[in-house]
Amino acid sequence: MKYLDKNLSIEERQADYKKVMDKKMNPVSDFNPETFEPMGEDLAQVANRPKVIPPKELKTYGLKPKEIRDGQMIGMYESKQDLYLIFAHRCNEMQKEIDLLKKEIKLLKNK
């Protein structure tokens, strides 16, 4: 990790950091989004979770996220579960609105 070496120029440190991060963000040379398993192929064989397009409505099982704290650090302390629930509730509400609009458009076209 040359990017931590303060004896190097900032340009050299930035270039090394970019290289290190690129390797972390793109660990597989023959990347296939259909079969990609970030934890490694061995784990994919044991803990196989097929890749699917999510349903129109995301499950919440009636759970609600905690209230969002407002401030400069917004989102910093939200759990993954709360982020999922926020996302799921908003997506589900938008899907209901889309379905309603489609029905209204269909009714208008049939007049």
pLDDT in tens, the chain (111 residues): 899 999 999 999 999 999 999 988 888 788 888 877 777 777 777 777 778 899 999 999 999 999 988 888 888 889 999 999 999 999 999 999 999 999 999 999 988
Query: Where exactly are the structural domains of the chain?
Result: 1-52, 55-111
**Among the listed residues 24, 33, 26, 70, the one whose alpha carbon sits nearest the alpha carbon of residue 51:** 33
Q: For residue 106, what pLDDT is reported?
A: 95
| pTM (whole model) above 0.75 | no
| Cβ atoms 47, 38 nearer than 8 A | no
CA 66, CA 79: separation in Å to the nearest integer? Answer: 9
Q: For residue 65, what pLDDT is reported?
A: 95
Q: Which two tokens stand for residue 12?
A: 């050299």
